[in-house]
Amino acid sequence: MSNQITLKKLANLSNFSVSTVSKALADSSEISTKTKEKVKKLAELYNYTPNLLAKSLKERKTRTIGVIIPNILAHFFAKVLVGIEKEAVKHGYNIITCISDESYDKEVKSIQMLASGSVDGFIISISKETYIKENYRHLTTAISKNLPVLLFDRITDKVMCDKVIINDFESSYNATKSLIQSGCQNVIFISPINNTSVGIERARGYNEALKDQKVPEAASEILIIEDYKKFAHNFNHYIENNNIDGILAADELSAIYTMNLVIGKGLKVPEDISIIGFTDGILSENSNPPLTTIDQHGIELGKIATKTLIKRLQKDDITKDYETVTLKTTLIKRASSNIS
């Protein structure tokens, strides 16, 4: 740490006691105006800033939020992080960010570490591996230690807490419906997030829409991406043998990646195949053709998540009246589809 100026030093310099200095700086009504002025001037002069660690220890709260994100390179999560950071700063909170990298172990370790006094609560999106292990004890443990948890986007029913999500089912349902109404007969669904809550809901929306639209003998196929290289191989094969004219992808990268495969095959987008993706990120905006996409409003989501958590932090009883906020997405029409 550092050669910091402390209350003690200020006390020595001013010939007041430590507590008087402390109160003076806090503008306590107990202290005379003269003393306050003197002390404040001195503090200014020496550029005093209170040691936040000591303050946190004393007050038993840190004004810091722990954020656990699966992958910062996905534009959606980066956007959410921007929103979280902005809103946190606005309320005088700091954030400590950990990247789980889709690993259960890293998620657990990060939470354990931060739960040892470093944060007042958590904002978390669950890693893929955690869904596979189906073990959410690290989350419930945190809550039982009085550290509120807010889950966003990738959530689970197994943990009782505040949640902020988007209307995944509906968004997916509507996008699929739009594709069909624009003339697509054979729409497939592509997902690299198959086992997350989000992936499941989006797949369900796709399936329901197909059912409701009753296209005779329509394709109904969900292609899972685990490894992009392998997927490219399989997809190229698939597209030769199947008469596809519409694709809904569960995230941004998979949409763009698939679009490039389609174009690479000599097919035209959207003339031969219409494509819609999720997340309105930098990729969708700048692809060629630009991608029709479902804007998840990541920054807004991050802000709301943070607001909700901070509200929770200010409550006495942390385990009551949990709320689940569901944000509405926006379909942004661009040249990769013909939907109206």
Partner DNA sequence: CTGTTAGCGCATTCAT
Partner DNA sequence: ATGAATGCGCTAACAG
Specify whether the CB–CB gap between 68 and 95 falls below 8 A. no
- Find the binding residues for a copy of itself in span 183-222 (CB under 8 A): none
Binder of DNA out of 27, 45, 47, 60 (CB under 7 A): 60
Binder of DNA out of 27, 44, 47, 59 (CB under 7 A): 59
Residue type, 299: I
Candidates 54-62, 182-190, 211-219, 236-244; binding stretch for a copy of itself (CB under 8 A): 54-62
Q: Note whether 4 binds DNA by CB under 7 A.
A: yes
Binder of a copy of itself out of 56, 156, 167, 182 (CB under 8 A): 56
Look up tokens 């869904």; give the residue.
131
- Which H/E stretch holds residue 247? strand 246-249
DSSP structural state of residue 167: -
- CB of 110 vs DNA, minimal distance in Å: 19
Give dist(CA 99, CA 124) in Å, integer. Answer: 10
Q: Which does 189 bind (CB under 5 to 8 A by kind): a copy of itself, DNA, none?
A: none
Give dist(CA 260, CA 272) in Å, integer. Answer: 13
Look up tokens 């550290």; give the residue.
147
Q: Note whether 99 binds a copy of itself by CB under 8 A.
A: yes
Q: Note whether 190 binds DNA by CB under 7 A.
A: no
Residue type, 337: S
Binder of a copy of itself out of 26, 53, 132, 160 (CB under 8 A): 53
- CB of 10 vs a copy of itself, minimal distance in Å: 14
- Per-residue interface string for the shown chain with DNA, residues 18-57, x marking contact by CB under 7 A: xxx-xx-xx--xxxxxxx--------------xx--xx-x
- CB of 163 vs DNA, minimal distance in Å: 29
- CB of 53 vs DNA, minimal distance in Å: 7
Give the strand pairing for 64-69 and 274-278.
unpaired
Q: Which does 242 bind (CB under 5 to 8 A by kind): DNA, a copy of itself, none?
A: none
- CB of 8 vs DNA, minimal distance in Å: 6
Longest dimension (CA), the chain: 89
Picking from 83, 81, 80, the residue whose alpha carbon sits closest to that of residue 96 is 81
DSSP structural state of residue 328: P
Give dist(CA 243, CA 262) in Å, integer. Answer: 12
Q: Note whether 286 binds a copy of itself by CB under 8 A.
A: yes
**Partners of 164 in beta bridges:** 152, 325
Specify whether the CB–CB gap between 99 and 69 falls below 8 A. yes
Specify whether the CB–CB gap between 154 and 196 falls below 8 A. yes
Percentages (nearest 5) of helix, strand, coil residues in the chain? 45, 15, 40
Q: Which does 62 bind (CB under 5 to 8 A by kind): a copy of itself, DNA, none?
A: a copy of itself
Candidates 16-24, 88-96, 199-207, 239-247; binding stretch for DNA (CB under 7 A): 16-24
**Partners of 123 in beta bridges:** 67, 150
Give dist(CA 170, CA 154) in Å, integer. Answer: 16
Residue type, 303: K
Q: Which spans of this chain sit near DNA (rule: CB under 7 A)?
A: 4, 6-8, 15-20, 22-23, 25-26, 29-35, 50-51, 54-55, 57-60
Give the binding site for a copy of itself (CB under 8 A): 1-4, 47, 49-54, 56-57, 60-62, 64, 72-73, 75, 78-79, 81-82, 85-86, 89, 94-99, 106, 112-118, 120, 141, 145-147, 253, 256-257, 260, 263, 282-283, 286-288
